[in-house]
């Protein structure tokens, strides 16, 4: 099975093993650190959006990350939320008289355009167990469908 790379259009085989955590150690000295799931060379953020009567709720699944690894910005003029994540890993190991040090890092940027009825000046976010939840309250919309008003009739 092959998947297409979004950036270069080349075909790559998906990884054959899965780790519970994107940054979990899976082998002691991988030959290519960026291809190992134990290194955050590429962070995949799954995003869920729920539309409630009071707010737009976004849940961003960032396995292995905490609130120090993530920054959320709001461009109020453009109504855009920008989620920026970066994870750095430094591994050191002493084995057989050798000192082995590996560094790896991964970043992602996700931009979400907010709906027209979003109150961009009241956005809240919290992180719990690797899940970033962003709450964007909605402007109250008056239901004008039930309103009855008189129309004046003029003569010509």
> End-to-end distance of the chain based on CA atoms, in angstroms?
77
Cα separation of 8 and 28, whole Å?
30
Residue 12 lies inside a defined structural domain of this protein? no
Number of domains in the chain: 1
In-domain check, residue 9: no
**Cα gap 18→126, rounded to integer Å:** 28
Distance CA 7, CA 153 (A): 64
pLDDT in tens, 122-150: 999 999 999 999 999 999 766 656 677 78
Domain contains 108: yes
Digitized pLDDT (tens) for each residue of the chain, 156 residues in all: 433 333 344 444 444 444 444 444 444 433 333 333 444 445 667 899 999 999 999 999 988 888 899 999 999 999 999 999 988 888 888 888 888 888 888 888 999 999 999 999 999 999 999 999 999 999 976 665 667 778 888 887
Identify whether 28 is part of a domain: no
Give pLDDT tens digits for 5-15: 333 444 444 44
For residue 128, the enclosing domain spans 42-138
CATH code (residue 88): 2.60.40.790
Any domain includes 109: yes
**pTM of the predicted model as reported, rounded to 2 decimal places:** 0.59
CA-CA distance, 118 to 115, in Å (whole number)?
6
Residue 73 lies in a domain: yes
The answer as to whether 122 is a domain residue is yes
Is residue 34 in a domain?
Answer: no
């Amino acid at each position: 099975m092959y998947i297409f790379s979004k950036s270069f259009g080349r075909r790559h085989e998906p990884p054959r093993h899965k780790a519970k955590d994107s940054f979990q150690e899976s082998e002691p000295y991988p030959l290519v650190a960026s291809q190992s799931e134990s290194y955050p060379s590429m962070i995949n953020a799954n995003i869920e959006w729920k539309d409630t009567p009071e707010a737009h709720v976004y849940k961003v699944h960032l396995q292995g990350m905490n609130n120090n690894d993530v920054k959320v910005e709001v461009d109020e003029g453009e109504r855009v939320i920008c989620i920026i994540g970066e994870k750095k890993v430094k591994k050191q190991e002493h084995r057989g008289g050798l000192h082995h040090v590996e560094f790896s890092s991964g970043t992602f940027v996700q931009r979400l355009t907010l709906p027209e009825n979003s109150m961009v000046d009241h956005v809240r976010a919290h992180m719990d167990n690797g899940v970033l939840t962003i709450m964007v309250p909605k402007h109250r919309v008056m239901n004008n469908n039930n309103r009855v008003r008189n129309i004046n009739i003029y003569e010509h």
